């Protein structure tokens, strides 16, 4: 049964990926390319956020802040110092990583649950104030504009492929991380701190690690954000993007690899599509999230898994195999 499931999922994934790669070549409108770029960036943010909230069970409300630090860092380095984006984007990520590990990773070692959420929220919330107070460097409330593109003369189509590649690489890295010993240690600490430490997992080391990795990846996403869109301002840290990020994780399926990606797709494309509904846009999205969480607390990934299992069982029944066999062998 497992094998069948795997091949079906692989086929679906391959087809979707192929369509995404070919899409710009089939004469897509610039506006649609723009939407896809937003999707790639949001998928990166939601996936790196999920490392903290889903995989490690540490309630972070600060990842939009991490992203903004990376974005601002990269933008300032590129605009003011004229450095290549090949250097500024990684540097932006590293700046985010260092700041977050020092100012959030270390203090949260003494905190639990909702208090971590509060601290990370305060961290992200002080950023707009800091940004408006440092106008000379960050452009203040107006923000930074005309940020250099990835390379001179880069157009939408280039941005599309750069962000797609970054997104795929990041997703692969996260996939490998989750399956590694480090990823297992994150999950172990989430599920039972006592048990995890009794097996040799250091809470101190792993918690700093997950903050560092999540901030680095969110910061990198911020870099891709500023160089493909060309501007960033403190409104990036407003309540709406923040809620969207959380909604992506919850809607898609927190703690899973593809959940945040799926959530990002639905929120980005859905909210554009729902512009037709004007003021009702957020209400409809909010309703969708409520319904999903009510029926599938594990998000849409859980719904899909249930559907997949159902189809497998149907298929087996048709082929005359025993459905009971699996149940019995589980005893």
Partner 1 sequence: MFEIKDLCSAYGDIQVLYNIDLHIDEGEVVALFGPNGHGKSTLLKAISAVHPARSGSILFKGQEIAKTPAHKIVELGIAYIPEERFLFPDMTVMENLNMGAYNLNARKSMAENLEFVFDVFPRLKERRGQLCSTLSGGEARMVAIARGLMCNASMLMVDEPSIGLSPSMKFAVFEAIEKVNREKNLTILIVEQEIEHALRMANRMYQIRKGRILFERKADEIDVKEIEKAYF
Binding residues for partner 1 restricted to 133-172, rule: CB under 8 A: none
Stretch that binds partner 1, among 65-73, 193-201, 224-232, 235-243 (CB under 8 A): 193-201
Binding mask 241-280 for partner 1 (x = CB under 8 A): --------------x-------------------------
Eight-state DSSP code of residue 56: S
Contact with partner 1 (CB under 8 A): which of 197, 230, 274, 312?
197
Two structure tokens written together for 248: 């992506």
Look-up of token digits 């250097």: 87
- CB atoms < 10 A from the CB of 49, how many? 27
Contact 216/93 with Cβ under 8 angstroms? yes
Beta carbon of residue 202, minimum distance to partner 1 (angstroms, whole number): 5
- In 3D space, the residue among 245, 240, 256, 243 whose CA is nearest the CA of residue 300 turns out to be 256
Alpha carbon of residue 17 to chain centroid: 18
Beta carbon of residue 178, minimum distance to partner 1 (angstroms, whole number): 11
Contact 43/65 with Cβ under 8 angstroms? no
Two structure tokens written together for 42: 């949001």
Binding mask 62-101 for partner 1 (x = CB under 8 A): ----------------------------------------
Contact with partner 1 (CB under 8 A): which of 86, 152, 194, 275?
194
Report the residue number, 57 or 149, with the smaller CB distance to partner 1: 57
- In 3D space, the residue among 226, 207, 247 whose CA is nearest the CA of residue 51 turns out to be 207
Q: Can you give the binding site for partner 1, defined by CB under 8 A? A: 2, 181, 184-185, 187-188, 191-192, 194-203, 255, 330-331
């Amino acid at each position: 049964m497992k094998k069948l499931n795997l091949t079906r999922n692989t086929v679906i994934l391959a087809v979707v990926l192929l369509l995404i790669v070919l899409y710009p070549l089939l004469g897509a409108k610039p506006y649609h390319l723009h939407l896809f770029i937003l999707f790639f960036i949001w998928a990166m943010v939601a996936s790196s956020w999920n490392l903290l909230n889903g995989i490690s069970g540490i309630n972070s409300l600060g990842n939009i802040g991490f992203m903004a630090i990376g974005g601002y860092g990269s933008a300032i380095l590129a605009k003011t110092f004229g450095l290549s984006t090949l250097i500024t984007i990684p540097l932006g990520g590293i700046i985010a990583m260092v700041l977050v590990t020092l100012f959030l990773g270390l203090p949260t070692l003494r905190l639990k649950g909702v208090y971590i959420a509060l601290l990370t929220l305060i961290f992200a919330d002080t950023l707009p104030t800091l940004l408006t107070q440092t106008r000379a460097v960050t452009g203040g409330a107006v923000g930074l504009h005309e940020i250099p593109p990835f390379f001179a003369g880069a157009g939408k189509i280039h941005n599309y492929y750069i962000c797609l590649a970054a997104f795929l690489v990041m997703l692969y890295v996260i996939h490998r991380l989750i399956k590694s010993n480090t990823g297992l240690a994150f999950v172990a600490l989430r599920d039972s701190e006592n048990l995890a430490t009794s097996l040799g997992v250091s809470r101190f080391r792993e918690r700093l690690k997950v903050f560092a990795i999540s901030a680095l990846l969110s910061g990198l996403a911020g870099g891709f954000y500023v160089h493909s869109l060309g501007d960033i301002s403190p409104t990036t840290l407003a309540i709406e993007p923040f809620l969207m990020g959380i909604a992506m994780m919850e809607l898609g399926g927190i703690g899973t690899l593809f959940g945040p990606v799926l959530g990002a797709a639905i929120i980005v494309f859905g909210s554009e599509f729902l512009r037709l509904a004007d003021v009702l846009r957020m209400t409809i999205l909010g309703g969708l999230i409520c319904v999903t969480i009510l029926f599938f607390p594990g998000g849409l990934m859980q719904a899909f898994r249930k559907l997949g299992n159902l189809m497998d069982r149907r298929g087996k029944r048709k082929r005359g195999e025993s459905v009971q066999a699996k149940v019995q062998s589980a005893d």
